Amino acid sequence: MKLPHRSRAQRTATVASLLLAAVSAHAATAAELARAQAAVDQMQPSATLRKIAENGAIVLGTRESSVPFSYTVKQQPVGYSYDIALKVVDEIKKRLNMPNLAVKNVQVTSANRISYVVNNQVDLECGSTAHVAERDPLVAFSNSFFQYGIRMAVKKKSGIHDYADLANKTVSTTAGTSDERMLRQMDIDKKLNLRIISARDHAEGFAALKSDRAVAFVMDDPLLYGKIAQEGAARGEYKVTGTSLANEAYGCMMRKGDPVFKRIVDDVIANMQRSGEAAKLYETWFMRPIPPDGMNLQFPMSAEMRALFAHPNDRTVD
């Protein structure tokens, strides 16, 4: 949905009135009202910040089963990526001088996440979305927060080690992902005659492997480790294997054409990476027990991730 054009004076008046109502609802002092008005007066033009201020809320796109990046526990989103999104929210609260800014979570899937951003249904999606060049005409990406390879999870007893072993077999992946696109292209290039299950989400894709409807689940390797870790005592039955189809990076998605908002998100991620905060967050979600059942992915930080943290950037990897 295209936001209507308004003059700076109109934007200031509209946002000021809404801020006044929002802050007044929390028994604001005269000083608080003055600070809110000052924030509006000094705000650089940003359609996303204007939308957030006018609505009194920021809308985050979350995932159901992208463990450990963004997933649901007791109907609440949690995860490494979600924690990054909340750090962005904290910064936006400061920029808008809206400490009581509401956070609304909208669950998205691999298939609809881009359209939700493009159509103003989500302001920021920090999940497990790869920044690949083909998506750049549609959405903007923040600085990358994770680098990884695309491989496959199999049962150890299957005897499968690499993609050539999949010939004439059924494999699963998640619909709407770059993984699905690359898997289908590899099938054509290598003439493997694969039967491909395009699952609704990662949980459904792994379930196909677990139930033997597929001999492999092709996905981003940290997500594979996450799904295997969820198997608890049975995790030893699975392994991650195969030459990586590609190396990619995750970033947060937002609407195009809003450099002010993108700069805020980029700066938050860069500051976390340079300060060591991102490394601590990584340790929490990839090397320690995580909810809901205290599973531990035991996924050490790679050299590529350390290099990313040392030199934050929003470039695609391939």
Are residues 57 and 170 located together in one domain of the fold? no
Q: Is the pTM of this model over 0.85?
A: no
Determine contact, residues 179/218, Cβ cutoff 8 Å.
yes
Are residues 23 and 37 located together in one domain of the fold? yes
Half-sphere exposure of 281 (CA within 13 A, CB side): 25
Are residues 155 and 79 located together in one domain of the fold? no
From 219, 268, 209, select the one nearest 248 (Cα to Cα). Answer: 219
3 domain-assigned: no
Q: Return all residues near 8 (Cβ < 8 A) that are at least 6 apart.
A: 45
pLDDT category of residue 41 using cuts at 50, 70 and 90: low
The gap from C-alpha 293 to its chain's centroid, in whole angstroms, comes to 22
The mean pLDDT value for 200-214 works out to 97
Are residues 93 and 194 located together in one domain of the fold? no
Are residues 19 and 120 located together in one domain of the fold? yes
Are residues 76 and 36 located together in one domain of the fold? yes
The mean pLDDT value for 47-72 works out to 96
The mean pLDDT value for 14-28 works out to 48
Determine contact, residues 265/251, Cβ cutoff 8 Å.
no
299 domain-assigned: yes
318 domain-assigned: no
Determine contact, residues 186/245, Cβ cutoff 8 Å.
yes
Q: Check pLDDT > 70 for residue 182.
A: yes
Could you tell me the CATH number of the domain that includes residue 53? 3.40.190.10
Specify the pLDDT at position 35.
56
List pLDDT tens digits, range 210-240: 999 999 999 999 999 999 998 988 999 999 9
List pLDDT tens digits, range 269-293: 999 999 999 999 999 999 999 999 9
Specify the pLDDT at position 37.
46
Domain count, the chain: 2
Angle at 47 between CA 41 and CA 50, to 5 degrees: 45
The mean pLDDT value for 257-272 works out to 98
Specify the pLDDT at position 45.
85
Specify the pLDDT at position 317.
86
SS (H, E, C) 99-139: CCCEEEEEECCCCCHHHHHHCCCCCEECCCCECCHHHCCCC
Q: Which of 207, 225, 248 is the last residue of a domain?
A: 248
- The single-letter code of the amino acid at 211 is S
Give the whole-angstrom CA distance, residue 253 versus residue 243. 28
The mean pLDDT value for 55-60 works out to 96
Q: Is 176 left (phi over 0), alpha (psi -120 to 50) or beta?
A: left
Q: Return all residues near 182 (Cβ < 8 A) that are at least 6 apart.
A: 150, 245, 246
260 domain-assigned: yes
Specify the pLDDT at position 25.
45
Q: Which of 248, 282, 300 is the last residue of a domain?
A: 248
Percent of the chain's residues with pLDDT above 70? 86
Are residues 267 and 228 located together in one domain of the fold? no
Of 16-25, 73-82, 85-94, 129-138, which range is least confident? Answer: 16-25
2 domain-assigned: no
Higher-confidence residue: 9 or 304?
Answer: 304
The mean pLDDT value for 138-161 works out to 97
Are residues 118 and 219 located together in one domain of the fold? no
Q: Which of 204, 229, 248 is the last residue of a domain?
A: 248
Are residues 177 and 191 located together in one domain of the fold? yes
Q: Return all residues near 74 (Cβ < 8 A) that are at least 6 apart.
A: 292
The number of residues making up the chain comes to 318
In eight-state DSSP terms, residue 295 is B
List pLDDT tens digits, range 81-123: 999 999 999 999 999 999 999 999 999 999 999 999 999 999 9
CA distances in angstroms from 298 to 134, 220, 280, listed in the order given: 32, 16, 14
Specify the pLDDT at position 287.
96
Specify the pLDDT at position 239.
95
pLDDT category of residue 22 using cuts at 50, 70 and 90: very low
The mean pLDDT value for 45-56 works out to 93
Ramachandran angles phi, psi of 281, nearest 5°: -65, -40
Which range of residues forms the domain containing residue 260?
Answer: 8-145+251-310
166 domain-assigned: yes
Half-sphere exposure of 279 (CA within 13 A, CB side): 15
97 domain-assigned: yes
Are residues 92 and 223 located together in one domain of the fold? no
282 domain-assigned: yes
Q: Check pLDDT > 80 for residue 63.
A: yes
Are residues 18 and 139 located together in one domain of the fold? yes
Are residues 139 and 168 located together in one domain of the fold? no
